[in-house]
Structure 1
Amino acid sequence: MFILNRFVIILTVCGVELSAKILTPIGAIFEQDNVDAELAFQSIIFRENMYNENIEFVPKVVKLSTSDSFAVEKQVCELLSEGVVAIFGPSNVHANGIVGSMCDTFHIPHFTTNWMISENLNVESHKFTRNFFPESNMYSRALAEIVVNFGWTSFTILYDNNDALMRLQDVLQINGPDDTPITVRKLDDNMDFRPLLKEIHKSGETHIIIDCAISNILELLRQANDVKMMEEYQNYFITTTDTHVLDFAELKFVRANVTAIRLIDPSAFESTSAVQDWNQNSFRNKNTKLYLTENIQTESGLLHDSVKMFSSVIKEFDGLAPAPIKCNGNNDWSQGEDVMKSFDERTENGITGRILFDEKGLRSHFTMEVLEMSQDGWRKVAYWDSTEGVVLTRDLSEVIVVTRLGMPFFGLKTPEDGEVLEGNDRYHGYSVDLIDGIAKILGFKYEFTLEPYNLYGAYNKETKKWDGLVKQLLDRKADMAICDLTITYQRRTAVDFTTPFMTLGISILFAKPIKQPPDLFSFLSPLSLDVWLYMGSAYLGISLSLYVLARSAPDDWESPHPCETDPEEVENVWSLLNCTWLSIGSIMGQGCDLLPKSISTRLVTGSWWFFALILLSSYTANLAAFLTKEQMDVSIESAEDLAKQSKIKYGAVLGGSTLSFFKESKFPLYQRIWSAMESAEPSVFVGNNKEGEDRVVKSKRLYAFFMESSSIEYIVERNCNVTQIGGLLDSKGYGIAMPVNSPYRTHVSHTVLKMQEEGKLHRLKTKWWKEVDGGNCEADVASASEGAAELGIGNVGGVFVILILGCVSALILGIAEFLWNVKDLAIEEKISLWEALKMELLFAFNFSITTKPVFSNPSKSPSPSEDIEDSHQSSDTLNTISKSKN
C-alpha cells in the first residue's frame, strides 16, 4: 500500500494521468502514536475516493514529534512541495500554530480538531484555518449551563494545566460574591492524588468537577474510591470529552454519580458508516482493536468530519488544479481563497453533529451529549444545544417510575367483565395522571413498578442503609419515585426532589363527636344553675322587702274610695300576693296595675326593674345561641389538647415522615407528644394510613391519628365518621424523587411548575379527592356551612312543658275555686250542694249572660227589709233561670 501511494504521488507530481480522475494530494500531520486519528483519516479518504467520480485524493501522512518546531516546519514544506490542497492536524497547539501560519502564507486550507482559545484563531489572523472543535467561549458556556442544570451550589474543580481553567472560565463565574466560594485545586504531577482527595473529603464537599488528561482520569477515580470518595453522596462531572472511551468496568458498581460529556453522536449514520470502514481488513492489522460506535474518540470523529466536509466542497469545485509550492518562493495556491469561501458557505452533518461555521470562521453551533455512568455503561441522559441549552434527552429508553400502593395517589384498577389490563393501564390515581401529563410535555415513555414492601423510604442508623422508594433510586432500579412522598432534609441527602407538586402539613384525624340527644329543658342553658337559684332568691327577697317597706311607708296607705278626701280609715293594697305579682310581672316584662307611692318602695321597685332589664336582655341574647347549638360531648381541638390529657391515645405511621417530625423536633410540645407516643402501651404506631383510619373509627374517640392533611382530606370525603381537627403543625410538600444529579430533575421541576400555573394540578386534586368515589359527606358539609340549623321540638320542648303545666295548674285551681264557691253558695242560700252546683254550672255555661247578681255581701250585715227583698230577688232569679232552661 505504501509503495502504491508513493508511485501515485510520483506520477501526480510528474503530471502523468492514470485515469480520468484528478489526483489530489491531501496532507496530514499526526503524532507518532496517534493510530486512531490516522485510521480515521485513511478510512474517510478511501470512502470518498470510492464515491468520487472526478477527484481521487492521495493521502500524504506525516508522523513526527510535534514538539520539535523545526521538524514540523520542514515537514509542512515537504507537503507543500508535493502539491497538497489541504493539511489536517496536528493536535499539538504550538505545532498547530506553526502549520496554520504557513498555510495562511501559501493560501492552503488548514483544518484542525483540538481545543484552542478562539481569540487566537479568527478570520483576521487565520483566514485559511478552520477548527472543527467547538468555539472556546461557547464551549465554556455549555459546561457552565450543564453545571447550573445540576443545581450545584458549591463544588471543587480539579485540573492539571492552565488550559483547563480557560475551558472552565464560565464555570468559575457561576457563583457570585454572596454565594458559596468555588474551590479550585491543581492535581499533583506525581500521580498521588490521595492527600488532595482526603482534604476534599474532610471539607465535606460532595460535588467535584474534573478537567485533566484522559490518561489520569481512571487513576484519579481509583484513588478516590480508595479514600471512600465514591459513595452515594459523591458526584463527579468529568469535562474531558473522551471519557466515554475509557474502561470503567472496575468502577461501574460504585455508588457515586459520575457524569461526563462527549461531542460524538454514536447513533448518527455517519458514525456507524465510519466504524464499518475502520473495521475493514484493509485498514486493520493484527494489533488494531475492533472499533464500536460508542468508542469513537473526539479527535477521530472531528478529523472524519473535517475530511468529509472538505471532500464535499472539492467535489463540487470546477477546474481544481493542485500545484507544488516552494517555501522559499513567493508563490501560493491561487484557488485557495475560492475553496475556503465555498467551504464557509457549506453545512454538513457528521459524527459530531451539525457542522456550521459563523462569520468569524468559528464553530459556535454544536451539540454536546451528557452521559451518566451506570452498571450497563454510559447512558445518554441529556444534551446541550447552542440554541436550546440543556435539553432532556428525547430518545431515551423507557423511564422507570417506582411507586407504592395507596389511594388516591396510586391504586390497581378493577377490570370490567372480560377486560384484560396490561402495562400502565393496570393502574390509576393522582400519580398516574401526573406522570402521564409530564411525559406528554417532555416526550418520554415510562413504566410503573411497585416497591416490594410498599415502604416510603427511611434510613436505618444501625445498618446505615435506606429502604423503600429511596433504596430503589439509590440502587438505580428506577429513574423516578412518586407517591405521597414527603420532601425531608434526610431524604434530600440521599436523593434529589423536584419542585413540590402539592403542599401540605401534619394534622389530626379524629372521630366525629357523638351527637347528644336534645335536652328538654335546654331553654334553661343560657343561665347557670347558680344564677337561676340566685335569681329565685332575689325574687323572694325583693317581694318580702317590698311588702315590709310598703306597710311601713305612710304614702302607701290610702283611702279605699278615691272620692273620699278625708277618710276615717285607710288601707294598704300591698299584700304579700300583690308584692310577688309585681316582682314576677316585672321580670317577665309585663308590669303590674299596682304601683308603689312612697320613695322607698319606688326605689326598691326601680332597682328590681333594672335588674330584670339586664337579666332578661342577657337571657334573650344567649338563648338563641344555646337553642341552635348542638350539644356535643367533650372533644379535643388541637395538638395542645391532646398533650394535656392522657385518656385519648395518639399515634402515627411507623417509619414515616410524620413520626420523624415529632421525633426530631426541638419544640417542647412536640417532644412531649413524641415521648407519650413512644412510651404508650400498647403501641400507638401503625403500618399505614388505612390502619390508622380504622383504629380511629373503632376506638370510639379514644385514639387520634397524626397524618398529612392531604390524606386527611381524602379520608374525610369518604368516611363521614371522622374529621380533621386543629390546624397544620408544619408546612412541607410532596415531590418526585430522583437519583442525585438526575438530568430529569430540572426539566420535570419546570414542567410541574408549569402545570401548577395552568391549574392542572388543582384539577387533578379535585378529580381524585372529590369526584372519584368522593363527596359522600357533602350534605354534612353543606349544612354546617349554611349557618344555624332549624330548631326541633327537642330543643324547645321544655317551653311547651312549662306552658302545659301552667295551664293544667290553672285548670285545677279554677276547679277548686269553683267548688269552693259552690259550697259557700249552698250554705248562704240554704240549698243543697247539688242544687248550688247545678245552678252555678247552668249560669257559667250560659254565654249570653254577661252580668251576675250578688247573692250576699259578707262584709255588710243586711236589714230585715233587705233580707226580704234579696230573698225575692233570689227567687226571681232562680225562676228566671229555670224558665230559661225549660
Structure 2
Amino acid sequence: MGDTTRALLLLLLLMSTVLTQDFKVGVVDEWPATARALEHAAKAALAALNLTGIGEVEPAAVEPGEPLALPARICQQAKAGVTVVVGGAPAGDNAETARAARLAAEAAARAGVPLLLLQPAPLAASWEVLALYPHEDVVAQAGADLCQAKGWRRAVLLHEGSARSAALIAPDEEQLELQARRLPPKHDDALLRNTLLVLKKAGATNFIVWCGAECAVRVLDAAQRVGLLGARQSFVVLSLELHTQPLHTFSHGGANITGLMLFDPEADSVRDLTSAWREAEGGVLSEDALPPTAVLLAYDAVKIAARAHLDLRLARNETRAAPGDCDSGRGAFHADSLLNYLRAQEEWNGISGALSWEADGQRRVDRLQVVELQRGGLLAHAGVWTAVDGVAWERPAPADGPSPSPGLMVNRTFTVLIAMNDPYVMRRDSTDRLSGNDRYEECLLREEDLTLKKAIEICRAAVVSRIYSENVKNEMEPVFQDKHFAITDLTITAERESAVDFTTPFMNLGIGILFRKPKPPEPKVFAFMLPFSTGVWLLLGVAYLGTSLLLYAVGRLCPEEWQNPYPCIEEPVALENQFTLANALWFNLGAVLLQGSEIAPVAYGTRAVASVWWLFALVITSSYTANLATLLAQKTPVYIISNVYDLANNDKGILYGAKAGGSTFTFFEYSKEQSELYRKMYEEMSKQKMPESNEEGIKRVVEDDEKYAFLMESTTIEYTTERNCLVTKVLSQR
C-alpha cells in the first residue's frame, strides 16, 4: 500500500508540474469590468478542479468599438503562451459582431490558439473557434414554441437589424401571424413611443421583443408609458440576459412578461458561482442579483479546457516548439489536439447545461429555462423548453386563499393628485350642494380608462405644476408622498423625468404669447378715402383730367358739336361749342358721381369718349362703394406686436414674463446659450417679478392695457381667449 500511495503522489506531482509549465488561460473582453468578472469566473473554475496556484489566468480588456482590438489582444496573449483564449465579440449590431468574430477567429487560427466565444456570433467550420452562447436559430425555435404554448395566433415582433428573425419564429403564417416592426434608433425614445401607440390603436396585445437586454428594457419602459403593460398585454423577451436588468418598475401593471435563461439560478453550482461573483464585485450587489450569462460560460469554458488539458497531459517541450505567433503564422504546440478533443467529446457537463458542438463550432443547446416576471421585479421559474418537446410549464401551484384579481388595478382605491387648473380640473357649477369628488369636473381622468370600481380621492395641489428646479427630485417626493398617481397639465422635462415616471403626453403644445386685444381704431376725418390707396387716388385724378382734356379736344374738332346758339336766326354770325374745358370737367365729374349732366355729346367722337368714361366710372364707383361698406362695418385693429421678435425688440415699453418656476420660464433659461433672442428675453424677464400663476399673468395682461405680454402654453391660451374677449393669442411657437 505504501508503494501505491507514493506512486499516486508522484503522478499528481508530475501532472502538477505539467500544468505549472503549460496551462494558461487568456481572458479578453471590451469592458474592463466584464473582463474582471470573467477572470474571477476562470479562477473559480480552476479552484473547482483544485488547480488553484497551478493554472494561470491572464485578463485583458480591449478598446470598445474597435473590431481590430480583439484580434490584436488574442495575438498578444498567444505570444505570451496562453493555452486557450476565452472571451466575446464586441457588442454591436450583427454586422459589427460578425466582423469582430471573423477577425478574432482568423487571429486564433494564425496563432493556433483555441478561442472559446462567450457572445453570440456567426461562425464557420474552418475557424479555430467554439461558441458557448446559443445560436439565434435555437432562440428563435424557443420563441416559436413559447408562442405556441401561450396559444398566440397573432403577435408583433419588435426587432433590431434585419427581419430575418420573423421567418425563424413564424415560418408558417397559419399557426402564427407575425407583424414585424423594426425598432427605432436607441436614442429616439419619442419615435419608439409613437410606434407602440400605433400598435396599441391597432389592437395589438401580444409582443415578441428580440434585441439586447438593455434594448428590451427600453421597449418595456416605452410600453409602460403608452399603456401597453396592462393585464391584457403579454410580452416574450428573447434576450438571455434579461435577468441582468432592473425590472421592478414593470412588475405592477399586470402584463405577462416571459423570458428565457440558459442556466437554472436555483442549481447549487450556480448559487455558489453567483455568491463568488457578488463577493468579487465588492458586495455592492443585491442578494437577488444574477451574473451575466458570459460569467457562467467563462466558468464552463475554463473548466472543460483545463479538464481536456489534464486528460491529454499536454506539455510543451521548450526545445521542440514555441508559443503561437500571429506575425509568423506559427501555431502553439498541441493547440489543434486540444480543440479537436473538445469537439470530439459527446457531451461536457457544465453549469450552463450540456456542452457539445456542431461541425461549424456552434453549440448544441436543447434546453432553456422559461421565466416569468413576478411582482417586485424577480424572474421566477415557470417552465422548461427543450428542442424535442417544446415548452413544459412548471409554474408553482397557487397558495391557498382567494385568487388574485385578474387585473391589478381593479377593485382598488387610488389617491390621485390633481392640480386645480382650468380647463383640466375645475369646480363643478351646480345648484345642488356637492361634496367629495362630486365637487370637481375633470377632463384628464375617466374611471373607465383605469378600470376602477371605487371612488378616487382627488387632492388639490396646485404646487405640482410649479416644481422645476435643480433639486427637483427632493421637491417632488414630498408632494407625491402617499399618492398613487398625479394627473395634471405638467410639462414633461428631463429633470422631472429623473424624479418620477410619466405616461405618454395626452396633449402636445408649444409656447404662445397672450396679449391684450387691440381696441378698435377711432373714426378718421378722411376715412372715406380708405377704400383706395394713395396711388390709386392719384391715378384716378390723372385719368379724370386726361379724359376731360380729351373730351374737350374731340369736341372742338368735331363739326357736329358746333351749334347755332340762337335757333331763331337762320344765319348766325358765329357758332358755339358746348364742350368748353369747364363743361368737359363738369360732364366727367357728373358721370363719376352718378348724377348726370344737361350736356349731351352730339358727335360720334365725343359720344365714344363719353361711353368709355361712363364704363370706367361704373366700375370704379361700384368698387369704391363695396370697399367703403366693408371698412365701415369691420374696423381692423392695429396689432403692436405680431411675433416673438417684435416682442423682444419692441420700443414701446411692453414688458413680458412667464409663470415663475414653470417650464416656460425655464425653457428660456436653458435656451439662452443656444439663441441670442432667447438670451435677451431671459435677461429681460429676470429683472422683473414673474407671476406666481397663470391667472395672475392673465390678470396683469388685462389690467396693463397693451403694456404686458404673458408667455404660456398655447392650448391654455386658446382656452383663455375663447372665454375672455379682452385678450388674444399672438403667437404659437416653440
Q: TM-score, normalised to structure 2's length?
A: 0.48
Pair member with larger Rg: 1
TM value normalised by structure 1: 0.40
